[in-house]
Copies of this chain bind each other. A is one copy, B any other.
């Protein structure tokens, strides 16, 4: 059920792969943006389509079955979720967010500076309300994880205060309170005119994770559910 895979690569190999796949995914993100905004003529679109299909065919000659999953290094507990829809290094759907865990205090506080372009539009010139939800779900989950209370989303409530303009944005999230296996987290997105969307959610450590941790105390703790 869990699908979490052990990750045997060294730190050097991990860095090498980041240098390889990160820039490639960034090029694909640019293509996603250009495909929405281009006004070149029909022949150029058709030519681009044919070339993209050829690239895809070459890439698919060897590929993993299914999705990337989350690979946890049994030595240092670091996780690779490079296919994740919000933070995935290899995923062009992800902006991607680079979420910063804040030091000091009681833990469980994160922030993130990010940019959302044309691909994240809902109402004209504004971020899609569901994209704000997508980002805040990840942020609140990361806050719970950062506070040592990782979990999967149980409930999530969003309040939209004003439109969020496409462009440079900031998000913040923190743990509000903890009761047993449940952690309440809060957060918001900040635009040029202040807070645009507020979120509150409950994150719950799944039974399978609790059982795995009880049965295998020698394994590194699961630090997030990316």
Residues in A lying within 8 Å of B, measured CB to CB = 2-5, 20-21, 23-25, 27-28, 30-32, 34-40, 42, 44-46, 48-49, 51-53, 55-56, 58-64, 66-70, 81-86, 88, 90-93, 117-126, 128-131, 133-138, 141, 152-160, 163, 166, 225-226
Contacts and interface: CB of A to CB of B under 8 A. Distances in A.
Contacts of A135: 130
Contact of A67 (B84, B90, B117): B117
Contacts of A156: 129, 133, 157-158, 160
A135 B128 CA distance: 11
Contact of A134 (B64, B128, B157): B128
A143 to B, nearest CB: 14
A160 B206 CA distance: 12
A166 B42 CA distance: 34
Contacts of A58: 40, 44, 48
A66 B124 CA distance: 10
Q: Which secondary structure characterizes the binding site on chain A?
A: mixed
> Copy number in this complex?
2
B34 A120 contact: no
A59 B44 contact: yes
Nearest to A30: B56
B35 A66 contact: no
A99 B22 CA distance: 33
Contacts of A166: 66-67
Contact of A31 (B31, B39, B124, B133): B31
B5 A124 contact: yes
B3 A123 contact: yes
B20 A45 contact: yes
Contacts of A93: 32, 92-93, 119-120
